[in-house]
Amino acid sequence: ADGWSPRWETFGMMSEPLMSGVGTLSIVGNHEVSNGHYHGVDWMQRYPVPFRESGSPSAMYYSYNTGLVHVLGLNSYAPMDEHSPQYRFALQDLKNIDPVASPWVIVIFHAPWYSSNQEHYKENVVGQRALEGLFYKYGVDLVLSGHVHSYERTYPIYNSKVDWRGPIHIGIGDGGNSGGPALPWREPQPEWSAFREASFGSGQLTVHNQTHAHWEWRRAGCGSKPGGIGETPEFLWTINLEAASCTTDGDNSAQRGAPVDRTWLVQDKYNVLSQQTETASVDHRFPAWGYPLCFVGFVASQVLILGATRYFGGADSKWTARAVSAQACASDEEETRE
């Protein structure tokens, strides 16, 4: 809405058929905080979050549990240094996670730490420097962000290097915008970037149980300019809804033709849970269909199966990682990644 309150009402009426049946929890971005200098007031009044229940002093950052997942939502535009209220909340929240009840830990915030797109490049370095160590120490599994209007997924990463003990970062700022998909991509594609594409789409994370989760992104449409890139105003993008075969004008990504991106996240349940179950009172009989968590994002084509054995030792949590094939994942026969 960029500071124009009536646009919030227009969007609310458009999305009511969906949001009336699907639970929605969000976190603020630059359009809610800085544009129009509204500081998130419109968002806070329309989309309440459980910040008091999670012990947060502000609606700008909070946490909650859903199924087997603990979700921590942060604000990219609030102070994050170690003396800030947001940092102290994040630290205490990560410390208090029960790894038996919530073996999966997801963090969401607006501006990405890892993006190889030229748009908003390294815009959130301050947040990365302040919080990446905490995420690594306390075993965050997945980081979801937006801001860059294209899709990108990383390999597990820490300190700008592929690290199988680190979280996967997924940029899903590709839900649609008037200016078209973000371009260009920086070359060459970094080693930590598993998949990137400039298009519009959505993603779904399905947590099946304590050990297996599946991420899938699907392209919904591509952007095109009638006069070509650079020859027409930014707002004159049109959308090609032939999602299975389209590509966005000017997309220089190697994966630009792929309509789907899938990846498995696998944790070794015996090492994760066996040392905990003797004293735990949690009922582990979770439904076979899993807990679906839907996010706005993009789709790609590669299938990457990530296997990880996670050892919980409080502040000294560690990961050892293995990659497994799709066939091995289905049959639980894991193959060691060299």
- As annotated, the active-site residues are 120
- Cβ pair 135, 128 in contact under 8 A: no
Query: Quick check: 112 and 169 in contact, CB under 8 A?
Result: yes
Are the CB atoms for 232 and 326 separated by under 8 Å? no
Q: Which residues pair with 195 in a beta bridge?
A: 153
Please answer whether residues 259 and 247 qualify as being in contact, where contact means their C-beta atoms are separated by less than 8 angstroms: no
**Taking the mean position of all CA atoms in its chain, how far away is CA 266?**
17
CA distance 70 to 104: 6
Residue 84, Ramachandran bin (φ over 0: left; ψ between -120 and 50: alpha; else beta): beta
**Bridge partners (DSSP) listed for residue 205:** 215, 293
Sign of CA dihedral 57, 60, 66, 70: negative
